[in-house]
């Protein structure tokens, strides 16, 4: 009941709209003409040239834009800012004739401490 005459493993795929039974897809024709087909052109020489140009442009853009992105990343952990600030502080202390480091972080004369009891 309801069995078809075709073999059990055969499946008929629908054709694209407007495709005739005798027409082959252009990609298959290009692959048969050029086994190293890259998808850029049906002509083998133009296909290789276009593939190499696209590869070179893609890699060049990735390297250039990647380098620009890394160069303009923000100062991670404010390390560069801390270095510049320390150099400013050292120059200022040298200009005033003060020691570079003191044992007191704050000036003890300016601190208001509770009376010793």
Q: Are 40 and 47 in contact (CB under 8 A)?
A: yes
Q: What is the DSSP letter of 22?
A: T
Which range of residues forms the domain containing residue 50?
Answer: 26-59
Each residue of 53-73: pLDDT tens digit? 999 999 999 999 999 999 999
Number of domains composing the chain = 1
Each residue of 71-101: pLDDT tens digit? 999 988 999 999 999 999 999 999 999 999 8
**Confidence class for position 21, pLDDT limits 50, 70, 90:** low
Asked if residue 38 belongs to a domain, the reply is yes
Asked if residue 46 belongs to a domain, the reply is yes
Asked if residue 54 belongs to a domain, the reply is yes
Asked if residue 116 belongs to a domain, the reply is no
Q: Are 34 and 44 in contact (CB under 8 A)?
A: yes
Asked if residue 33 belongs to a domain, the reply is yes
Q: What is the pTM of this model?
A: 0.43
Is the per-residue pLDDT at 9 higher than 90? no
Asked if residue 19 belongs to a domain, the reply is no
């Amino acid at each position: 009941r309801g069995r078809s005459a075709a073999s059990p493993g055969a499946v008929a795929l629908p054709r694209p709209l407007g495709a005739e039974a005798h027409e082959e897809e252009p990609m298959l024709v290009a692959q048969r003409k050029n086994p190293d087909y890259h998808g850029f052109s049906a002509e083998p020489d133009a296909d290789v040239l276009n593939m190499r140009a696209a590869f070179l442009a893609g890699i060049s853009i990735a390297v250039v834009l990647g380098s620009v992105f890394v160069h303009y990343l923000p100062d991670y952990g404010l390390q560069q800012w801390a270095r510049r600030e320390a150099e400013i502080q050292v120059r200022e202390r040298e200009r005033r004739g003060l020691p570079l480091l003191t044992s007191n972080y704050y000036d003890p004369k300016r601190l208001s401490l509770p009376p010793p009891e």
